Structure 1
Amino acid sequence: MITCVIHYTIDPAKTEAFERFAREWVRLVNLHGGRHHGYFLPGEGASDKALALFSFDSLASYERYRARFGHDPEFLAADRIRDESGCVLRYERTFMRPLLED
């Protein structure tokens, strides 16, 4: 299993747009072979940090999902939410492997 961890810097004034963007990506990851573990947004206080975690069975499974970027109409529509609203200022993607209880 491989887990993608995305650290976002968001515009706190555009949290509603970020939530629309996030909900759409949860749906798309789950639809295309992954398991989304959720987005984690600021809970209180002024913060511009958010986090997303989702897993695929293998890097090959993730790469099949990633191959849809740039041409799949649903993927393009989800990215348009981010691009048109400006809710995401920057992000960093890291791949990790979980160490789970035996």
Structure 2
Amino acid sequence: MITCVVEYVIDPSEIEAFERFGNRWMRLVARHGGTHHGYFLPAEGASDKALALFSFPSLAAYERYRTLFGNDPEFIEADRIRDDSGCVLRYERTFMRPLLPEPPREGTGDR
């Protein structure tokens, strides 16, 4: 599994547009084989930082999804929300592999 972590610098005055943008991308990731873990928006502290995390079973699966950028009408429309509103000032994408908790083993007392 590979997880993409996207760190955004956003325009705080365009938070509603960013939420529309995020909702659209969450649906697209799910529709094309990924698992979206959500967008994390400013609550306290810096008002211009946001994160998104989503996973694909492999880098190859993610790359298949990426082939739709700039080609598929739904992907173009999702990007248009960002471009027309200016809600995203910049972003940086990092790929990570998750270390997830192991389920407890029966009879060992592990929790």
**TM superposition score normalised by structure 2:** 0.90
Shift in Å at residue 44 of structure 1? 2.9
The 3-state SS of whatever aligns with 1:20 is helix
> Is contact 1:9-1:89 (8 Å) kept?
yes
Aligned residue type for 1:13: S
Matches within 5 A, 1:5-20: 5-20=5-20
Q: Unpaired runs of 5+ in structure 2?
A: 103-111
2:83 match: 83
Q: Which protein is bigger by CA-based radius of gyration?
A: 2
Aligned to 1:25: 25
Amino acid at match of 1:9: V
- 1:76 aligns to what SS in structure 2? helix
Structure 2 distance, partners of 1:16, 1:46, is: 17
Write the mapping of 1:51-62 to structure 2, written as runs, cut at 5 A: 51-62=51-62
Quote the Cα distance in structure 2 between the aligned partners of 1:13 and 1:69: 27
Q: Secondary structure at the match of 2:54?
A: strand
Measured in 2, the distance between the counterparts of 1:51 and 1:72 equals 24
CA RMSD of aligned residues (A): 0.8
Q: How far apart are residue 47 of structure 1 and its match?
A: 1.1
Distance 1:64 1:77 in 2: 19
SS, match of residue 18 in structure 1: helix
Answer yes or no: is the 8 Å Cα contact 1:12–1:46 preserved in 2.
no
**What percent of counterpart residues are identical?**
76
Contiguous gaps of at least 5 residues in structure 1: none
User: TM-score, normalising length from structure 1?
Assistant: 0.97
Distance apart, 1:96 and its partner CA: 0.1
State the alpha-carbon separation in 2 of the partners of residues 11 and 29 from structure 1: 23
Amino acid aligned to 2:2: I
The 3 A distance-change label for structure 1 pair 45 and 96 is closer
Equivalent-residue separation in structure 1 for 2:56 and 2:46 (angstroms): 32
